[in-house]
C-alpha cells in the first residue's frame, strides 16, 4: 500500500476493524510497517502498524466523497 491509500486499522483493544484512516508513510523493513493518518483531523498516530494490523478500506466509496 502507498501513502494516501484509505485503510482500516485493527483496534488493539478489541481486535475489531476501524475505518477512517489512510497510509501516511511506509516504514521500510521486513515486513514494512505503516504510519497511519486519521482522515477526520489529519493527525498521524504515534505508532507504527504492522501489515497484519492494516487492510485496505473495503467499504464502497460514495460518489460525493
Q: Is 16 a member of any domain? A: yes
pLDDT above 90 as % of the chain: 78
Q: Is 62 a member of any domain? A: no
Domain count, the chain: 1
* Entry pTM: 0.82
Q: Is 1 a member of any domain? A: no
Res. 60: pLDDT tops 80: no
Q: What is the Cα–Cα distance from 31 to 21, expressed in whole angstroms?
A: 20
Residue-level pLDDT at 65: 52
- Structural domain of 24: 6-56
Tell me the CATH number at 13: 2.30.30
Q: Is 49 a member of any domain? A: yes
Amino acid at each position: 500500500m502507498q501513502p494516501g491509500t484509505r485503510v482500516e486499522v485493527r483496534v488493539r483493544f478489541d481486535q475489531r476493524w476501524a475505518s477512517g484512516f489512510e497510509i501516511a508513510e511506509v516504514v521500510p523493513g521486513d515486513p514494512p510497517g505503516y504510519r497511519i493518518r486519521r482522515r477526520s483531523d489529519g493527525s498521524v498516530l504515534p505508532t507504527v502498524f504492522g501489515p497484519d494490523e492494516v487492510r485496505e478500506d473495503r467499504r464502497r466509496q460514495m460518489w460525493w466523497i
